[in-house]
Amino acid sequence: MRTGEEKGYETDNKLKKRHLCPSNEFLFLNYPQKCVQETSAPRHDVEWENVFVANSFNFCYAKFVELGKHSNLETVYMPDWFSIKNKITLVSGGSRGIGEMIAAGFLQHGAKVYITSRKAEVCDATAERLQQDYGGECVSLPGDLSKLEGIDDVVTRLHDRESRLDILINNAGASWGAPIMEFPEIGWDKVMDTNVKGLFFLTQKCLPLLREAATYEDPSRVVNIGSVDGIRTPKFENFSYAASKAAVHHLTRQLAARLVRENINVNAIAPGPFPTWMLSGGVGFGGKVDGVDWSIVGKKNPRGRVGTMEDICGLAIYLSSRAGAYTVGETITCDGGSVACSN
């Protein structure tokens, strides 16, 4: 595990004070960005009290005391608490659905993103398209994460390219629906192997890379994608899926308790209805995502709509950034109120 100094961060936590800013511009450097304040004319009436560098919290706090009657203070740019810029991120199941949404949003916000998918041609095509549409660098790492050999292969190829992993998004998932008397063993094993076993062993194999990125000031992050079906009683006969997502939520708490002292934060998101291939099959759209009326599904949600990329990715960014660095072991719903309003 690297220290702040080894990552190139400033680790001086001494209290620093300034009194009476003598010019129209000052620059205060602090990880991860700059805190800049400008005035339109020279100022001698702004006192700086307790300008404090606290790298253990990754932010700077500035209290201004206005001594004069008139103020031409314009803007203060504080460090970006939601930044994931230059973070190395692995999104399993990133070739479609919620995984693709998160990958797209992370690329938009400056992360370097690796995506996995069982089908190599689909994974490659999605990575190329996401990079063209959203910029940044998106790399395809296809592999079957329901099997240990597939996990080993993906992590080996990731390690060949990177010396650290800042963020792991465990999104790869499978579902199966059938009446209780017809539910097959394969429908149980496939879902559990992908959603629970695959999640655990991918996290296990990624731990050396996550440890390399982790510091006290900036923990590595693991975000597991669960489901509201693991919290409430599902509307579909998806017995193995609901049980697997409940397992993901509990496994999240157990992993968080084990890894938090290694500066690795683990949390989960429980999405509600989103316009995905998986939900499309369940609601009668035959697996189609585009060209269907998702408002039919959205009308049944308390918010009156299905989720969007901004909804799911915004929450994932929070959990992966400075803003979420003190959030550990939580399962947060992103469902438009479906759990809160369920009977």
Tokens of 245: 């997502």
- The answer to whether the beta carbons of residues 234 and 273 sit under 8 Å apart is no
pTM comes to 0.78
State how far the Cα of 24 lies from the Cα of 22, in Å rounded to an integer: 7
As a whole number, mean pLDDT of residues 77-90 equals 88
Q: Each residue of 196-215: pLDDT tens digit?
A: 999 999 999 999 999 999 99
Sheet holding 331-334, edge to edge: 138-140, 112-115, 88-91, 167-170, 220-225, 264-271, 331-334
Q: Reply yes or no on whether 61 is catalytic.
A: no
Give the DSSP per-residue string, 46-105.
Answer: EEEEEEEEETTTTEEEEEEEE-SS---EEEEE---TT--TT-EEEETTTTSHHHHHHHHH
State how far the Cα of 260 lies from the Cα of 204, in Å rounded to an integer: 14
Domains of the chain and CATH, by start: 15-77 (no CATH), 88-334 (3.40.50.720)
Three-state SS letters, 220-235: EEEEEECCHHHCCCCC
Percentage of residues of the chain with pLDDT beyond 70: 77
Residue 281 banded pLDDT, cuts 50, 70, 90 = confident
- 3-state class of 169 per DSSP? strand
As a whole number, mean pLDDT of residues 156-184 equals 97
Among candidate residues 114, 241, 318, 326, the one labeled active-site is 241
pLDDT of 308 over the 60 cut: yes
pLDDT of 25 over the 60 cut: no
pLDDT of 339 over the 70 cut: yes
As a whole number, mean pLDDT of residues 54-65 equals 39
As a whole number, mean pLDDT of residues 49-59 equals 39
Residues listed for the chain: 343
Predicted confidence at residue 151, as pLDDT, reads: 98
- The answer to whether the beta carbons of residues 151 and 74 sit under 8 Å apart is no
Question: Facing residues of 138 across strands?
Answer: 113
Cis peptide before 184 (omega within 30 of 0): no
Start-end of H helices in 166-276: 185-192, 198-213, 239-259
- The answer to whether the beta carbons of residues 219 and 264 sit under 8 Å apart is yes
Q: Each residue of 204-251: pLDDT tens digit?
A: 999 999 999 999 999 999 999 999 999 999 989 999 999 999 999 999
- The answer to whether the beta carbons of residues 238 and 176 sit under 8 Å apart is yes
Percentage of residues of the chain with pLDDT beyond 90: 71
